[in-house]
Structure 1
């Protein structure tokens, strides 16, 4: 009997132990579920970090993530704004426009479902510009001596450099920090330097650039709806499993990437936009400085089959594509007044293999002249500017060092538009042509004090009739006009000015700003 009781007791203890273990297992399983249900999340967009600069005189969107339906409160500069996160946990609110200020302020962001708020320290208010493009925008300050010399006297400039990477889909985050110093881009820094000196307010530069990238690299996928050749590119990309696997292997592979892999990534379409531009939307800024185009000069008509990275707009489709790109970005930023300053490609002597004429001064060669004409199409949209660089560049070097004038000219255009100053910001622009027997008279806008920089007769003008044979013109300044003729043409009909890879030009206005290139014919290349 005693043995039976002992056995029963042992069985009872075993069953009790079993039930206890089962309950403990359930308890262990329930803990993470409970934690997941109560975990608090409060995040801000990737640009909302210490030392940031907010755009003056515009509403400032502030956004991020939180628990679904959490009440979000943002306090800054005597403002208190509230909103509620949606069912997915995303939220967005707007601060009222604020004037420029050097006062260091703190932003407080709190959630009703999180005990501790977030703090962002040392915030200033000023002018914010996104500077983007390829290698000539990326070119470092140290490579340009006269811009490097500006560093000791630089002040009140802050910058955020977006880490160069790619993504198959649009991302909401990017790597980078605001720093209280100039951006390491010769063009972006010189622009910020002169803008700060002129306006005497803080200047923030968001630098997102990568050498060798095409315009298509910075295009969102929804532009397949408005740009037919881009749809073709993306359809081909979607079908190219080998390329996708290679990109994934590079992204997931060892760091840093090899130069070969780095080049392969930056020459792709769309995936740079996804990782390096989309996360910036809708950060308040004055506009975009765009220095790009070299990658798209590899053909006249675009969409070359070989090499694969030449499958882009080419020079002739670039202009219309650029306009669609600008319109798309404005829609994404929800700002029709978002300014775009396009930097014209400067002088460069290389011509395409399709060109029988290899003379870098020829008005008929397949040269960068055609790309500049496409870039100038941006001016067909409001709130756009093209920085004229026709007097700059290097016949042999695709990365010229004369970038200081670009920063100065960007500043003239930015202050004219953003500060409404009555200053000289444009060089002479052709308005119309008047035919007078055996001469053609070019009428210019922005031509006060029209002159040549060297005191000689104007150069860079060519004339033609319907024969399509172009001859150098004899040019003479007459007030704000230029009178052209040639002993080789009895009745000239058309003018091309500075329409060459590396034209010899000397025509400027009283502000010493160069005349813009143009052509009046409609001949096809």
Structure 2
């Protein structure tokens, strides 16, 4: 009863949730993911589904293929069409029952879902990459933007809340154009996803559809279904939090709309005054930090705003970080659309006290999506978090959550059909949203070309394999060495800075039985790195780049960076 009441409560605010999850009986109605200019997955059984009157006969035709279905008592129907080869020329998709729905200019190629938080949501920096935006028109690359939304229960269709940005672009397929890259979601279609798609398009020439379903500042448990969270005992606290959100106070629901409007006014005022001053102070602080580090001086204290940011009003269903809420509203409506795979960039918001938990939560989410989609272990390719924050002065500093999330991402490679784009070298220590999304998208595309398209290429950097001890030296063995190990630097150089070149390996630290890490000397020897320190005569463990903002320069000769790692399993 509480669960049903919660949906009614949400409907007071959302206004139409029930229409999404329980369509009114009528003529044929299709989910919003279908539309003119869409891309359907080639060489795969195609699921076409929707709603109609119970017992209504439905016929679907596309590119010479035909399928039939009869709507059940709940009004739902689904047709499975036999696989169709690539179609670069627009096709007509027809759904006929008591009425007829026709979609024009439908292509058949590859469909990828791009999901995660802000770095998968953030648009292209229009000044920095202006030439790329201006040259982005591609009639065979189609974009679909899933508007932000939350729900305590799985929705069967995409819903557009009242405050959806750019509703003329949302929940519809559009051709990739400079205008689309600049306007969708108010800041442009996802930059990392665009560069990924552009590289794939240039490589195989097939039509490509990108479905962007991302939301900044969100946690992985919000993108995971309730059934998956319930199945993992280590994640029980999220199930408990979900139950708490279901039992939300009716007063919160009744007052939310007014409080949200008041908050919007207050936050706009704060952003234009305190927030603007604080932004400038942080920029000045970043300059002072770089000066201090160059001179070997202590890092100055980070500035704080002169007054606190206005507090968000309590959200009636746990908001965008309520467990399961984003899966229910922004992923479930896409299922069972046939897809090629998923690209994912998230983890920053799980780097707090739950950083270590990511090693359990992230694989749980991946397995969950695959199970719900029911099309096998489709490729799941993700970004390992970059460097962020002032350069770490101490080896393997304690209490830093990003290192634990990166480790969880590294461990997820144990799942079948996964790949990881290492970006430890292209972050911005002072910007949570680093400008360089070209290298992120490029590395995702290379990983996809190898994993999903079977190209025989080197697509990633060295990965820790094992360690042996010889006297006072630790010998680290790597896989994915490509043509061999080397010292290199980031392919991206911020404006106004010089490329960082070094003749010495950095980022390695070593510890003995006392478990106290010290900076180490590291030397490349073939496909191995020999690590030592005169302070540690009997080494036990080695770590590389295992902190928030490390300086790392180990690559393979194909210039892919090595992933941060540790050889120990210590708690700190």
Secondary structure in structure 1 of the residue aligned to 2:357: helix
Residue 105 (structure 2) aligns with: 122
Q: In the alignment, is the contact (CA less than 8 A) between 1:389 and 1:406 conserved in 2?
A: yes
Residue 296 (structure 1) aligns with: 350
Unpaired segments of 5 or more residues in structure 1?
1-38, 300-313, 351-357
What's the TM-score, normalizing by structure 2? 0.76
Q: In the alignment, is the contact (CA less than 8 A) between 1:73 and 1:81 conserved in 2?
A: yes
Of the three residues 339, 359, 366, the one matched with 1:285 is 339
| 1: CA distance, partners of 2:56 / 2:475 | 68
Of the three residues 227, 231, 237, the one matched with 2:245 is 237
Q: In the alignment, is the contact (CA less than 8 A) between 2:51 and 2:71 conserved in 1?
A: yes
Q: Is 1:66 the counterpart of 2:52 in the alignment?
A: yes
What's the TM-score, normalizing by structure 1? 0.83
Aligned length, in residue pairs:
463
| 1: CA distance, partners of 2:554 / 2:314 | 39
Residue 400 (structure 1) aligns with: 434
Q: In the alignment, is the contact (CA less than 8 A) between 1:348 and 1:395 conserved in 2?
A: yes
Secondary structure in structure 1 of the residue aligned to 2:523: strand
Q: In the alignment, is the contact (CA less than 8 A) between 2:223 and 2:327 conserved in 1?
A: yes
Q: In the alignment, is the contact (CA less than 8 A) between 2:59 and 2:68 conserved in 1?
A: yes
| 1: CA distance, partners of 2:464 / 2:116 | 28
Q: In the alignment, is the contact (CA less than 8 A) between 1:319 and 1:377 conserved in 2?
A: yes
Cα distance change of structure 1 residues 86 and 257 upon mapping to structure 2, 3 Å threshold: farther
The alignment's C-alpha RMSD in Å is: 2.5
- How far 1:45 sits from its partner (Å)? 2.2
| 1: CA distance, partners of 2:426 / 2:447 | 18
Q: Is 1:141 the counterpart of 2:124 in the alignment?
A: yes
| 2: CA distance, partners of 1:255 / 1:143 | 32
| 2: CA distance, partners of 1:118 / 1:269 | 36
Of the three residues 173, 177, 181, the one matched with 1:178 is 173
Structure having the higher Rg: 1
Cα distance change of structure 1 residues 219 and 242 upon mapping to structure 2, 3 Å threshold: farther
Residue 385 (structure 2) aligns with: 345
Cα distance change of structure 1 residues 253 and 498 upon mapping to structure 2, 3 Å threshold: closer
| 2: CA distance, partners of 1:194 / 1:243 | 50
- How far 1:235 sits from its partner (Å)? 2.1
| 2: CA distance, partners of 1:432 / 1:238 | 47
| 1: CA distance, partners of 2:477 / 2:243 | 47
Cα distance change of structure 1 residues 151 and 205 upon mapping to structure 2, 3 Å threshold: farther
- How far 1:42 sits from its partner (Å)? 0.2
Secondary structure in structure 2 of the residue aligned to 1:326: helix
Of the three residues 449, 452, 455, the one matched with 1:421 is 455
Q: Is 1:250 the counterpart of 2:257 in the alignment?
A: yes
Cα distance change of structure 1 residues 166 and 122 upon mapping to structure 2, 3 Å threshold: same
| 1: CA distance, partners of 2:143 / 2:259 | 28
Residue 506 (structure 2) aligns with: 459
**Deviations along 1:444-494, whole A, 9 cap, x unmatched?**
111122111146122111111110111122111111111111111111121
Q: Is 1:57 the counterpart of 2:43 in the alignment?
A: yes
Residue 376 (structure 2) aligns with: 336
Cα distance change of structure 1 residues 144 and 372 upon mapping to structure 2, 3 Å threshold: farther
**Deviations along 1:106-147, whole A, 9 cap, x unmatched?**
011111xx1x42111001111211111111111112357237
Secondary structure in structure 2 of the residue aligned to 1:315: coil
Counterpart mapping for 1:54-453 below 5 A:
54-111=40-97, 114=98, 116-142=99-125, 145-146=128-129, 149-155=132-138, 156-174=140-158, 175=160, 176-181=171-176, 184-226=189-231, 227-241=235-249, 245=253, 249-250=256-257, 265-299=319-353, 314-349=354-389, 359=392, 362-367=395-400, 368-447=402-481, 448-453=483-488
| 2: CA distance, partners of 1:523 / 1:407 | 34
| 2: CA distance, partners of 1:292 / 1:343 | 7
**Deviations along 1:152-184, whole A, 9 cap, x unmatched?**
144221111011122232211214100011651
Cα distance change of structure 1 residues 243 and 135 upon mapping to structure 2, 3 Å threshold: farther
- How far 1:404 sits from its partner (Å)? 1.1
- How far 1:268 sits from its partner (Å)? 3.2
If asked which structure has higher relative contact order (CA below 8 Å, sep 6+), I would say: 2
Q: Is 1:469 the counterpart of 2:474 in the alignment?
A: no
Of the three residues 521, 529, 540, the one matched with 1:493 is 540
Residue 508 (structure 1) aligns with: 555
Unpaired segments of 5 or more residues in structure 2?
1-24, 161-170, 182-188, 268-310, 489-500
Cα distance change of structure 1 residues 360 and 332 upon mapping to structure 2, 3 Å threshold: farther
| 1: CA distance, partners of 2:150 / 2:120 | 18
Cα distance change of structure 1 residues 126 and 348 upon mapping to structure 2, 3 Å threshold: same
| 2: CA distance, partners of 1:185 / 1:337 | 25
Cα distance change of structure 1 residues 199 and 271 upon mapping to structure 2, 3 Å threshold: same
Q: In the alignment, is the contact (CA less than 8 A) between 2:88 and 2:108 conserved in 1?
A: yes
